[in-house]
């Protein structure tokens, strides 16, 4: 019997890319490939690239070059680019980066095994010519579901696949193979985006918004629970739009309690929320449903009205503060994070002052700040009134300093809170590390348990009750109290002692 060919998937970028990589892994494993963790141990290294901003694109190129350096020094024979950067640039990337043995777009995913076998056998796979993927689906959301079956939608593999195609790991197995053992996993709600933010190119290469059916989201969540996952994070380009193409814009409010009721799941988290699309009913579900984290990843981007309009977005400082007040009235412990762009074309000093006013009043748990730079193919790249780079850099440093100060203060506000913590790692050097409901993976800080508490009860994947006793910047230090299953969950009004 011939030796199975091996493949390693190297993933860059966001949680959506991680889901796409696990779907690719599922396809390859179902077709007989052996998955390995390290690129140097694989016949072919598949790099799932990010194409969002210049820094992410540079990281993707660096990862491809690093994998290419392995060729001739070990087992690695080929390096292949997939993902957003490969989709966005296609032939242009292939010509600019001859070190990549293949540049595959989303349309290649369904036949990824054949493409890789061709490359390993010395053949070539022609890189695609990029196109605006928004034009592949009808303008009307209501007409997209049927049309979507003919369009490549990474991360949308259905559940209950035919025998021989789905991984043999459960009756509801999706076309997905986990690439790690973390007790947290992302689940795609949708792909694409219908918004036309002037600084963002994502809709052009991810396409128009299309939801996954609730039955597939539920089935995949059940399968993940069977794999030992305790927290699922719902991801898409815009979760507040979920269901609009299925005829029910309030579908997320119905789906969340069903996901929270899945046996084995201890926490459901929703990311990527648009402030302008937040609904009272969605706020109610997010702040009152057991096992649904009162967590709000709100894409504010700025708060000065003039800048927001130039960004093709809505809102202002006072509206945003009212939204946050509504959330915290219902759930005082709710976690809120956001990202902001400074130095946008036409941004004035008074606009920056307005942003500072919002940040000071918002009490956000985590803040990402980015300096504006032109992104090709976007409306903002054509704007006049571009700011000098030194002005952008100064404002970036200024707002970043403020953000660091404010998030540290917000962490201090949580001293004395009783929190539910999912333990994610335990080792001799760092002890036990986990996250509370207000902390999303990788972006929002973490909780470190004091060395003298918890003992054998602090195990990876276990949900425990703890009390916050210290801070380390945005990170918290906590004392273990008990395993969550030993007592009822903490009511929001009793969370602070």
Pairwise CA distance, residues 270 & 187, whole Å? 10
CB 43 within 8 A of CB 28: no
Q: Is 173 annotated as a binding residue?
A: no
pLDDT in tens, 28-81: 999 999 999 999 999 999 999 998 777 778 888 888 988 888 887 778 999 999
Indicate left, alpha or beta for 81 from its phi (over 0: left) and psi (-120 to 50: alpha). Answer: beta
Q: Is 141 annotated as a binding residue?
A: no
Task: Look at 42-46, 369-373, 456-460 and tell me which has the smallest mean pLDDT.
Answer: 456-460
Pairwise CA distance, residues 117 & 104, whole Å? 13
Q: Is 249 annotated as a binding residue?
A: no
- The predicted model scores a pTM of 0.93
CB 283 within 8 A of CB 327: yes
Q: Is 28 annotated as a binding residue?
A: no
In this predicted structure, what is the pLDDT of residue 146? 81
Residue 127 has, within 13 A of its CA and on its CB side, a CA count of 24
Q: Is 335 annotated as a binding residue?
A: no
Q: Is 50 annotated as a binding residue?
A: yes
In this predicted structure, what is the pLDDT of residue 149? 80
pLDDT in tens, 100-158: 999 999 999 999 999 999 999 999 999 999 999 999 999 999 888 888 788 999 999 88
């Amino acid at each position: 019997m011939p030796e199975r060919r091996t493949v390693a998937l190297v993933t860059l970028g966001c949680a959506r890319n991680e889901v796409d990589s696990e779907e690719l892994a599922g396809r390859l494993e179902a077709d007989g490939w052996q998955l390995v963790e390290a690129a140097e141990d694989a016949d072919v290294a598949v790099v799932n690239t990010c194409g969002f901003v210049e820094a992410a694109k540079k990281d993707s190129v660096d990862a491809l070059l690093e994998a290419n350096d392995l060729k001739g020094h070990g087992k690695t024979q080929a390096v292949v680019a997939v993902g957003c950067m490969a989709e966005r640039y296609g032939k242009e990337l292939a010509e600019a980066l001859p070190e990549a043995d293949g540049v595959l777009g989303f349309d290649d995913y369904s036949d990824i095994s054949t493409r890789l076998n061709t490359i390993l056998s010395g053949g070539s796979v022609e890189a695609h010519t990029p196109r605006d993927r928004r034009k592949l689906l009808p303008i009307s959301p209501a007409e997209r579901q049927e049309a979507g079956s003919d369009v490549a939608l990474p991360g949308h593999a259905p559940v209950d696949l035919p025998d021989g195609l789905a991984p043999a790991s459960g009756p509801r197995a999706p076309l997905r193979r986990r690439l790690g053992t973390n007790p947290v996993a992302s689940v795609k709600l949708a792909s694409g985006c219908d918004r036309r933010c002037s600084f963002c190119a994502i809709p052009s290469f991810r396409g128009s918004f299309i939801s996954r059916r609730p039955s597939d989201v539920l089935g995949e969540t059940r399968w993940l629970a069977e794999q030992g996952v305790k927290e699922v994070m719902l991801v898409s380009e815009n979760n507040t739009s979920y269901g609009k193409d299925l005829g029910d814009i309030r579908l997320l409010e119905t789906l969340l309690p069903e996901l929270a009721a899945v046996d084995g799941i201890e926490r459901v988290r929703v990311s990527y929320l648009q402030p302008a699309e937040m609904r009272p009913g969605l706020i109610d579900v997010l702040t009152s449903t057991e096992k649904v984290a009162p967590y709000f990843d709100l894409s504010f981007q700025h708060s000065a009205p003039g800048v927001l309009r130039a960004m093709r977005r809505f809102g202002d400082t006072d509206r945003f503060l009212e939204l946050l007040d509504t959330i915290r009235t219902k759930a005082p412990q709710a976690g809120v994070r956001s990202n902001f762009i400074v130095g946008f074309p036409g941004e004035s000093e008074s606009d920056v002052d307005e942003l500072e006013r919002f940040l000071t009043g918002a009490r956000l748990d985590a803040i990402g700040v980015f300096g504006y730079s032109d992104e090709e193919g976007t409306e903002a790249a054509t704007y006049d009134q571009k700011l000098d780079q030194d002005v952008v850099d100064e404002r970036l440093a200024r707002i970043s300093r403020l953000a660091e100060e404010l998030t540290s203060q917000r962490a201090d506000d949580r001293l004395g809170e009783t929190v539910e913590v999912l333990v994610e790692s335990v080792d001799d050097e760092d002890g036990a590390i986990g996250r509370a409901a207000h902390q999303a993976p990788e972006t929002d800080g973490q909780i470190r348990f004091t060395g003298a508490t918890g003992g054998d009860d602090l195990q990876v994947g276990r949900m425990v009750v703890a009390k916050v006793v210290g801070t380390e910047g945005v990170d918290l230090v906590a004392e273990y109290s008990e395993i969550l299953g030993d007592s009822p969950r903490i009511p929001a009004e009793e969370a602070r002692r």
